Amino acid sequence: MSLEITAPNQQDRSVRDAIVKGVKCRCPKCGEGKMFDKWLKVTPTCSNCGEELYHERAQDFPPYITITIVGHIVVTLLLVVEANFELSMNTHLMIWIPLAFVLSLLMMQPVKGGVVGMQWALRMFGFDGNGDHE
């Protein structure tokens, strides 16, 4: 016997659309309001539609995604450069460490926005409308 609990009048939320809106650092519901107050601080409510966003629990997931993406980019470029050019170790260090650092900083906010959008679309934690869940 399975028990499925659903709230009445819950409309479907597109995971893809919510993630895309989140990557653009916009509210996953309306796509207009800003998602972040500060660099990685999610705004408690959307300034446009009033959707509560304080339920998010992204925590360590965005850094893991960012590290994976940046690692693939940097290692691929490193292998291409190494195969075609003869560079000293100091030159490699001056190229790849700053590149990895800058890419990580640039990608962290959109990745976190996408994770929050996914949580909203899947009604995770308090996004289901039944209160704040840990």
Two tokens at 10?
């819950």
CA 51 to chain centre: 18
Three-state secondary structure call for residue 2: coil
Three-state secondary structure call for residue 26: strand
Alpha carbons within 13 A on the beta-carbon side of 82: 10
Tens digit of each residue's pLDDT, the chain (134 residues): 554 445 545 678 899 999 999 999 999 999 999 999 999 999 999 999 999 999 899 999 999 999 999 999 999 999 999 999 999 999 999 999 999 999 999 999 999 999 999 999 999 988 877 655 45
Asked whether the beta carbons of 39 and 109 are under 8 A apart, the reply is: yes
